Amino acid sequence: MLSSPSCHGLRFAFGTLTVLRVEVTRWDRRAARGGMLCAPLAGLVVGVLAAAVGLLLLIAGAGTPLAAVATAAVPAALTRGLHLDGLADTADGLGSAKPAEDALRIMKQSDIGPFGVLTLVFVLLAQVAALARAYDHSWALGALAAVVSATAARLALTVAARSGVPAARPEGLGAAVAGVVPRVGALGVAAAVTGAAAAAGAFSGPYAAARAALAVVLAVAVAELLLRTCVRRFGGVTGDVFGAVAETAATTALVVLALG
């Protein structure tokens, strides 16, 4: 059982997408395929932990703004900030007027440029504001937003790793997972996550169920727009692009769930 393909996929997903102490025993394409198919499960765990922290602060009387900040901070901490770093680097690359090769070089640099800083600030503000609005509406909606957004963010990674999406570089995490997921597999996982989100929202009524499903669909759609932009600009995907896609999906889902 410990050497089964599904086990290797789960290890890959949790070992590469979270800071949880999971030993990744295989790094081949087969393990990467299983890992990217299991990515939403890693997102589910991250989202549940984020919601738990937010709810604990609300129970303690901290108020919705602080609970929202903490809820947004947990996914960042559980990924070592890599997705946010990827978002900033991708923004710098897209904002550069230089050729794709030079833009990719800019993205590899350790510093963050003005486009990256601005993007980080506005995305984090949007996430916190959306979570605060959801918690203001009800604690249940805030918890739902935390879980759905984190899961949708990792679903976007599954979709971005589908076959036909090339890697921009021959090395790095982006190259390791680019194109490993069959299209039908990505579609199946997307349908499962959308259905699960609707089922979770159904506990708060049919309107919440529909909105949760819509949040997943729109999160993946907006992330797909960014993915296609990056493929045109850079010639493919990188680890930074995957991080940017995840943060874009998470923010979109939060905004959708905060509306109304």
pLDDT in tens, 89-111: 999 999 988 998 999 999 988 88
- pTM for the model: 0.94
Tell me which of 42 and 23 has the higher pLDDT. 42
Give the per-residue pLDDT at 208: 93
Give the per-residue pLDDT at 22: 81
Task: Report the alpha-carbon angle 167-169-174, nearest 5.
Answer: 55
Give the per-residue pLDDT at 154: 98
With a cut of 50, say whether residue 238 has pLDDT above it.
Answer: yes
Question: How does the average pLDDT of the chain come out, rounded?
Answer: 93
- Report residue 9's pLDDT band, with 50, 70 and 90 as the boundaries: confident
With a cut of 90, say whether residue 215 has pLDDT above it.
Answer: yes
Average pLDDT over residues 1-22: 77
List the chain domain ranges. 40-258
Give the per-residue pLDDT at 174: 83
Average pLDDT over residues 153-164: 97
With a cut of 60, say whether residue 254 has pLDDT above it.
Answer: yes
- Report residue 25's pLDDT band, with 50, 70 and 90 as the boundaries: confident
Give the per-residue pLDDT at 4: 58
Tell me which of 211 and 172 has the higher pLDDT. 211
Interval 132-157: pLDDT, tens: 999 999 999 999 999 999 999 999 99
With a cut of 60, say whether residue 2 has pLDDT above it.
Answer: no
Average pLDDT over residues 112-122: 95
Average pLDDT over residues 73-80: 96
